[in-house]
Amino acid sequence: MRNYLLLTPGPLSTSETVRQAMLQDWCTWDKDYNLGVVTPLRKGLLEIAGLDPQDGTYTTVLLQGSGTYGVEATITCAVRPTDKLLIVSNGAYGKRMADIARHAGIPHVHVALKETEQVTPEIVKKAIAENPDATHFSVVHCETTTGILNPVADLAPIVKGAGLTLIVDAMSSFGGIPIDIRGLGIDFLISSANKCIQGVPGFCFVIARRSELEKCKGVSRSLSLDIYDQWETMEKGGGKWRFTSPTHVVRAFFQALQELKAEGGVAARYARYRENHDTLVNGMREAGFRTLLADDIQSPIITSFLYPSADFDFADFYEKLKAEGFVIYPGKISEADTFRIGNIGDVFPADFRRLTDIIRTL
């Protein structure tokens, strides 16, 4: 039933069992769905994040829409008109957070780094020192634009030490790279259904410190993106969504979460993604390609490769690989001509060996 393998950072290749989980219709108002699917799903998200659902420090909100909806909902609910958001970006998704703040008229400062420059503790320290009135700090964990990994474990102590609320866009890393949410003191972490949990697209979720989420009451600039109201309805209604829930997508995600647990949890998935990445990069280097980023700042999620020559025809390369059953991704940066290959999804080292064997013959 597969047309091709998606080596893209979402939507990505899902397992057949995840896709099969969509073959039933569910009533959004019935307890089979709210208590049988949504409630255990919310609990399961906390569990895979290493958080104890019983202790109540952290909670989850599910929201209709793609990942950007979750980032926009969080920023527009968590940052009040009297607050100031400090954003340090090194790619399109970090820039998008600044776009969101600008659209909503939210006071913010945007420190934009080069797309190949990692967000370091020194940069964050300096940005906070220059903006003593900042109340919130947001950063992207894995910047999918290039595949660069920002060292959130080293950044968090600086942000929290300065007393700022920490918002992390972990869209393309949550579930695929271990993140110690509690230990790092992350206040809001955003991800979506169609990334490392390996579900299909249709909703996003926020893992939030409950005390911070409670402060969002009445702050939202939008009705449908109000994560406080959405959360309150889910809490009081035993898993009810405020507006039509993407039932099939949610049921598929519930299956995907079970498959993540069966694989051995986030640590095991991280190990597989690393092996996918290593197999890909070794094979590509053998085929004469170079990576955009140095290995020490590269994530195992998605990798940018430089065009091997000035006359490299990406469109032709893309079509040839597609004919062999692999869909890759164009580049997204201005500094260099690149294309990207994703390592996440229901894909395995053997798939990357097969891919690079084909690339060597092109």
Output 124 or 359, the one with its CB closest to ligand PLP.
124
Output 71 or 164, the one with its CB closest to ligand PLP.
71
> Six-digit token pair at 96?
């998008």
Output 174 or 305, the one with its CB closest to ligand PLP.
174
Shortest gap between Cβ of 255 and ligand PLP (angstroms)? 20
Output 59 or 89, the one with its CB closest to ligand PLP.
89
Shortest gap between Cβ of 323 and ligand PLP (angstroms)? 27
Output 304 or 356, the one with its CB closest to ligand PLP.
304
Shortest gap between Cβ of 169 and ligand PLP (angstroms)? 5
Output 54 or 334, the one with its CB closest to ligand PLP.
334
Shortest gap between Cβ of 217 and ligand PLP (angstroms)? 25
> Six-digit token pair at 11?
């939507």
Residue 340 in marked binding region: yes
> Six-digit token pair at 324?
């062999």
Which of 146, 167, 162 is closest to 216 using CA atoms? 167
Shortest gap between Cβ of 73 and ligand PLP (angstroms)? 12
Tell me the β-bridge partners of 340: 304, 329
d(Cα 101, Cα 156) in Å, to the nearest integer?
21
Shortest gap between Cβ of 31 and ligand PLP (angstroms)? 30
CA–CA distance from 70 to each of 219, 220, 224, 242 (Å)?
A: 15, 13, 11, 15
Q: What angle do CA 352, 140, 192 make, to 5 degrees?
A: 65
Q: Which residue is nearest to ligand PLP (CB)?
A: 67
d(Cα 322, Cα 181) in Å, to the nearest integer?
38
CA–CA distance from 190 to each of 140, 209, 325, 355 (Å)?
A: 10, 12, 31, 32
Residues in the chain, total: 362
Name the residues that contact ligand PLP, by CB under 6 A.
9-10, 66-68, 71, 93, 140, 144, 169, 171-172, 192
Extract the annotated binding site for substrate.
340
Extract the annotated binding site.
340
